[in-house]
Amino acid sequence: MTEIGAKVTNILGAVARDGAVRAGRGLSGLVGQEISIHVPNVRMGTKGDACDAVGGEEAVVLGAYLGMSGDIEGHVMLLFPERRALECVDLMYGEPVGTTTEPDDLAMSAVAELGNIVGSAFVNALADHVRLILHPSPPTVVHDMAIALVETIYAEILSRGSEVVMIDTIFEDPNGKTAGLLIVAPDPLCIARIEELAA
Amino acid sequence: MTAPVGEGRRTAVGIGQVAVTKDPSAVLVAYGLGSCVGVTMFDPAARVVGMVHVLLPHCEGKEAGPNEPGRYADSGLDALVARMSELGARKSRIIVKAAGGASVLGAANAEKFKIGARNAEAIKERLRHHSLRLAAEDLGGTRGRTMEVHCATGRTFVRTAASVPNEL
């Protein structure tokens, strides 16, 4: 990795940690008990890397998508292997992990709210770090094969020539923990802005 | 109709790839087509089968690159037709099928993410350029699809996440 590339990753790491703190606070407030969010790893990745991180190309994943608009545009997607998403739903409802076994309406609603909190927290943290005005869209629940979702984001950003940022995201409460992947595909202008700040 | 699971030698045709074969044991598979479109071609007389996995609609003068000749609908279909012809296929006999082009991020984002619809339209446009037409299609919608073609028969199957395959 180039020096500038390492600095960009460092800035994105700081954004992710800040976003995780904000999201943990929001989520804990929503569910009425402490849920902490950790982001141990932030990296730039290919579509294949993103799929591998959630179980493989054909793995059925559940999560939420948010668009990012304002001074720049981008995409944010929180993805879990289906079972992991249901574990996160259990954390949100204060149930022992493994209680929710089907992605029913209640589970989908919880995933939408989870995506809203985590995605918005990241977008707001990014906006503060790069000093741009950014607005997250309302969340859309996604439930499909991993590659179908990742490829759509990839196609969208490829027409602009950018890469995706992958943030491993761990959710933890006293009852247990589970992990997902936050994929952020910013406008190339956003990366350029971060490079400016990193220089 | 359900595809015989596990039958044949399965070859994944990744994003941007073009595959053509006369091997009757081969099964060409495009996994998880979202906004991408998979196109299969089969010449029953020459027993040639091909598949392209298209990512974007138009090359607009850009080179697709040697590893991704099927990246764009226009140049990708040109490459597939050329390679089918090299193995003895004739356009007049080729049966074409297509699947994918979905808006997997939901109907609410379909207007924003037009890539799937634009891919599907670009495929049809390029097929007209080659005087080919779709014999069957499963395009659009909001679900990702996996598409496969069996080289021995040209039979093509499509399935969505956790569903059984349907013959196209």
pLDDT tens digits, A66-92: 988 898 888 899 999 999 899 989 988
- What is the residue-wise DSSP string for A17-71? HHHHHHHHHHHHHHHTS--EEEEEEEEEE-HHHHHHHTT-TT-EEEEEEEEEEES
> Could you give the count of Cα atoms lying within 13 Å of A165 in the half-sphere of its Cβ?
29
Closest CA to B55 of B113, B107, B109, B101: B101
Q: Could you tell me which chain A residue has the CA closest to the CA of B143?
A: A144
CB-CB: which of A148, A156, A158 is closest to B32? A148
* Res. B1 pLDDT band, cuts 50 70 90: very low
Q: What are phi and psi of A135, to 5 degrees?
A: -125, 130
pLDDT for res B7: 56
> Taking 50 as the threshold, does the pLDDT of residue B159 lie above it?
yes
What does the alpha-carbon distance between residue B104 and residue B117 come to, in Å, rounded to a whole number? 11
> Taking 50 as the threshold, does the pLDDT of residue A42 lie above it?
yes
Mean pLDDT of chain A: 86
Q: Angle at CA B44, nearest 5°, toward B41 and B46?
A: 95
The ipTM estimated for the assembled molecules is 0.76
pLDDT for res A177: 84
What pTM value is reported for the model?
0.83
Task: Read off the pLDDT of each residue in B89-97 and give the average, rounded to a whole number.
Answer: 97
B36 tagged catalytic: yes
pLDDT for res B123: 97
A198 to chain B, closest Cα gap in Å: 31
B63 to chain A, closest Cα gap in Å: 13
* Res. A6 pLDDT band, cuts 50 70 90: confident
Cβ contact B97:B139 at 8 Å: no
- Which residues neighbour B159 within 8 Å (Cβ) at sequence distance 6 or greater? B3, B145, B146, B165, B166
pLDDT for res B4: 38
Q: Which of A78, A151, A158, A159 to mutate to test the interface with B (most CBs of B within 10 A)?
A: A151
Mean pLDDT of chain B: 90
